Amino acid sequence: MNFVSSDDFSRSQINEVFAIADRLSHGRGESFIKEHAVMALLFEKPSTRTRVSFEVAMTQLGGNAVYIEKQHLQMSRGETVEDTAKALSTYCDFIAARLYSHSDIVKIAENSVVPVINALTDLEHPTQALADMYTVRAHKSDLRNVRIAFVGDIAANTANSLMLTATKLGSSVSLIGPRGYSPNSIYFNKAREYGTVDVYDSFDDGLEGADFVYTDTFVSMGQEADAERRRALFKDYILTDEALDHATPDTLVMHCLPAHRGEEITADVLDGPKSIVWEQARNKLLIEKSLIIYLSEQTDTGT
Ligand code: CP
Ligand code: NVA
């Protein structure tokens, strides 16, 4: 079993991962992974949180991780992604990959005999969305009564995964971005099959009733050449204290990080009392450990 897309897990599978996380966070015994299991971390883009938390997760579970930058692989000299997946899965027990192209991680999954985890692609960030919804659940136990507003780049990988994971769990999502800038239609339409997702171009309407307001960088990895145009495009969607006035006094602020203070969010909001961004970051480790245990259990039983 793989976790390449947020759509790979049903609601009950997400809840099984959350249940493992609950047990781990209470220090309760858990069936751990195979002794000395090794995860290949194949990264083509930078990472602070995801890379380090996966390495720590494997160490804490009694295994190990091997960090591999794509430029040091034969892939950089033309070996195919398919052959790379076959080779890595010969030696390792899991592959987690952060790649530019989502189609590359799909190819890895198709050619790997061990579980493959998406550690971010241009289209998705599924482990982030799991950690985010686990964080939301710590504040609002009934996820069916939760409304999450995603502000800014509503077509970002983080928005795509959050939309799917949140709606599967029964939460509603409002996407707030510039008029004429649309969410990714595939993810949007799929999320609308699972639940409620609406698009707004103003904070006024979009933040009404929002329990959580989420933002991400306006310039994702790989979009640097387009940075100036994108910052201008999203200039009215910076998360400020004034913007938050359109939400309720209890609304909490989320960001996957890394943050760019003064670009997509002000320092006052990011570092202010409503921010739960460091809880999100902390939960990445717990959720990744739980995901690894879950995938191990499923693989052991041949599912
Ligand atoms: N949120 C997140 O994925 O952070 P990194 O890019 O530091 O891994
Ligand atoms: N949307 C951002 C997320 C970083 C964790 C990016 O892809 O760069």
Q: Which domains does the chain have, with CATH numbers?
A: 6-124+282-298 (3.40.50.1370), 126-278 (3.40.50.1370)
- pLDDT value of residue 34: 87
Q: How many angstroms is it from 281 CA to the middle of ligand 1?
A: 8
Strand-pair category, 252-255 with 64-69 = unpaired
Strand-pair category, 64-69 with 172-176 = unpaired
Q: How many angstroms is it from 100 CA to the middle of ligand 2?
A: 11
Residue among 162, 220, 256 whose CB has most ligand 1 atoms within 8 A, to mutate? 256
Predicted confidence (pLDDT) at residue 219 exceeds the cutoff of 60: yes
Q: How many angstroms is it from 295 CA to the middle of ligand 1?
A: 21
Compute the distance between CA of residue 280 and CA of residue 252 in angstroms, rounded to an integer.
12
- Residues near 300 by beta carbon (within 8 Å), at least 6 away in sequence: none
- Among all ligands shown, which has an atom nearest to the Cα of 255? 1
Q: What is the pTM of this model?
A: 0.97
In the predicted model, what is the mean pLDDT of residues 265-283? 98
Predicted confidence (pLDDT) at residue 117 exceeds the cutoff of 90: yes
Long-range contacts for 227-230 (Cβ within 8 Å, ≥24 apart)? 230/153
Average pLDDT over the chain reads: 96
CB 102 within 8 A of CB 123: yes
Is residue 47 in contact with ligand 1, taking CB distance under 6 Å? yes
- Among all ligands shown, which has an atom nearest to the Cα of 257? 1
Q: What is the percent of the chain with per-residue pLDDT over 70, rounded to a whole number?
A: 97
CB 268 within 8 A of CB 257: no
Predicted confidence (pLDDT) at residue 108 exceeds the cutoff of 60: yes
Compute the distance between CA of residue 184 and CA of residue 113 in angstroms, rounded to an integer.
31
Q: Grade residue 30 by pLDDT with cuts at 50, 70 and 90.
A: low
Predicted confidence (pLDDT) at residue 21 exceeds the cutoff of 90: yes
Predicted confidence (pLDDT) at residue 29 exceeds the cutoff of 80: no
Is residue 184 in contact with ligand 2, taking CB distance under 6 Å? no
Predicted confidence (pLDDT) at residue 300 exceeds the cutoff of 70: no
Q: How many angstroms is it from 115 CA to the middle of ligand 1?
A: 21
- pLDDT value of residue 146: 98
Q: Which atom of ligand 2 is nearest to the CA of 153?
A: 1
- Residues near 87 by beta carbon (within 8 Å), at least 6 away in sequence: none
Predicted confidence (pLDDT) at residue 27 exceeds the cutoff of 90: no
Q: What's the count of helices (H) and strands (E) in the chain, helices before strands?
A: 12, 9
Q: Grade residue 153 by pLDDT with cuts at 50, 70 and 90.
A: very high
- pLDDT value of residue 302: 52
Q: Grade residue 92 by pLDDT with cuts at 50, 70 and 90.
A: very high
